[in-house]
Amino acid sequence: MAKDLAQIAKQKKIKYFLISFVDLFGVLRAKLVPARAIQGMQKDGAGFAGFAAWLDMTPAHPDMFAIPDPDSLMQLPWKPEVAWLAGDLHMDGRVVEASPRVALKRQVDKAAKKGYRLKTGVECEYFIINTDGTDISDPGDIQQKPCYDQSALMRRYDVISEICDSMISLGWGPYQNDHEDANGQFEMNFDYDDCLRTADKHAFFKFMVKSIAEKHGLRATFMPKPFMHLTGNGCHFHTSIWDKSGRKNQFLDPKGELGNSRLAYQFLGGILHNAQALCSIFNPTVNSYKRINAPRTLSGATWSPNAVTYGGNNRTHMVRIPDPGRFELRLMDGAVNPYLGAAAVLTAGLDGIANKRDPGKRLDIDMYAEPQKARGAKKLPLNLLDALRLTEKSKVLRAGLGDEVIDSYIKLKMQEWEDYCHHLTQWERDHTLDC
């Protein structure tokens, strides 16, 4: 039987529930529902006007309902009288196909029918900046190579430890926090989990980091490239396929190349085969393309990929194999939609398995220093428009994610691209005024 949220409210002294959903652009939206009304909302959902969010709907559409998943419940550690719930969107008694969490659940079901279970771990990098967003918040954070800078990390101890304590209380199993490669940038790692659970945590993590930073008079951003001269915000996905019970990692094979099974390499083959089409989902904003294919940063490396390649324990490739039994997909950035990103990984991976796709030989080269050695490697799209066109054409993504998801996503993202094109930049003026 499903958990009784009204009962839980009494036990845990919850006064309010946030019944939330993530739209196609990754925006987390919610209604704040008093505990007295949760019983009805658990069954019927909280009502929304779909057009008011980034979903492919008009003002004429009927009410849309987010029906909360009781298993996603998280009590806000910094405000425990409020609890968060991830919701699945419904309209006219049916699920909204072109909505991210529903799309991921569909992929999870498809994989389950084949006896597969995707587990993911995410590394959500972020910057702590000033509240007006113009600069990093710590004037002392100026090292050329600031990665793991102990003093800069400790100057943000109050924020970082509160976030980490929160993850401990939520039972996420956090195990390390560090200053990342850009000035003002941090990363916190927590245990991997089933991909739907990780996607819920990913959505909640971004909300939590921003909320706790605000509480301390600061601001957190997951923007892919907030400062052109600094390393951008990646969001690496660690992926592995397990058996139905979730106890046996099917990527593991001690006799396989780097300890990985044939199934693992077929999955990887699917990721590489579809990488260019996946890009608009993994790198969903105009700004995303300033992180990938980027010039050297102040620290000396971008840590982001510039082509569709994989290597062993080598961070210059799009996919790294850090240990037997998992792949680190390094293409995603801080703007990736937690649900669409995971759904797209599963779609491409299942395509690789179904078609026994061969990822080719791994490249044991420094892709930043000697990219010319990766002969024939496919390039990543240079901007959002090119990426969207590749997604739109992809038969694999259409068959896997469904036409509803792809068509709605492309339609809204194309509008965003057009909006961007209606803005005159200083660069254009500098280079064209005297033409």
The answer to whether 151 and 158 are in contact (CB under 8 A) is no
Candidates 111-119, 185-193, 253-261, 306-314; binding stretch for Mg ion (CB under 5 A) = 185-193
The answer to whether 84 and 76 are in contact (CB under 8 A) is yes
Nearer to Mg ion, 105 or 238 (CB): 238
CA 211/CA 218 separation, integer angstroms: 9
Nearest-CB residue for Mg ion: 187
Min dist. Cβ of residue 186 to Mg ion (A): 9
Nearer to Mg ion, 178 or 194 (CB): 178
Min dist. Cβ of residue 231 to Mg ion (A): 9
Beta carbons within 8 Å of 369's beta carbon, 6+ residues apart = 316
Candidates 135-143, 187-195, 246-254, 380-388; binding stretch for Mg ion (CB under 5 A) = 187-195
- Number of residues counted as binding Mg ion (CB under 5 A): 1
Candidates 5-13, 20-28, 148-156, 181-189; binding stretch for Mg ion (CB under 5 A) = 181-189
Binding mask 130-169 for Mg ion (x = CB under 5 A): ----------------------------------------
CA 24/CA 402 separation, integer angstroms: 14
Candidates 139-147, 186-194, 360-368, 406-414; binding stretch for Mg ion (CB under 5 A) = 186-194
Min dist. Cβ of residue 348 to Mg ion (A): 22
CA 186/CA 345 separation, integer angstroms: 25
CA 144/CA 237 separation, integer angstroms: 27
Candidates 179-187, 207-215, 225-233, 325-333; binding stretch for Mg ion (CB under 5 A) = 179-187
Min dist. Cβ of residue 221 to Mg ion (A): 15
Min dist. Cβ of residue 322 to Mg ion (A): 12
Nearer to Mg ion, 56 or 187 (CB): 187
Buried residues in 316-351 as b, exposed as e (16+ CB within 10 A): bbbbbbeebbbbbbbbbbbbbbbbbbbbbbbbbbbb
Min dist. Cβ of residue 87 to Mg ion (A): 30
Min dist. Cβ of residue 332 to Mg ion (A): 11
Q: Does residue 333 belong to the site contacting Mg ion (CB under 5 A)?
A: no
Q: Does residue 187 belong to the site contacting Mg ion (CB under 5 A)?
A: yes
Min dist. Cβ of residue 329 to Mg ion (A): 13
In SS3 terms, 265-299 reads as HHHHHHHHHCHHHHHHHHCCCHHHHHCCCCCCCCC
Q: Crossing angle, helix 403-421 and helix 338-354, to 10 degrees?
A: 130
Candidates 93-101, 180-188, 203-211, 217-225; binding stretch for Mg ion (CB under 5 A) = 180-188
Nearer to Mg ion, 89 or 336 (CB): 336
Nearer to Mg ion, 334 or 400 (CB): 334
Min dist. Cβ of residue 360 to Mg ion (A): 26
* Contacts (CB under 5 A) with Mg ion, residues 18-37: none
Contact residues for Mg ion, defined by CB under 5 A? 187
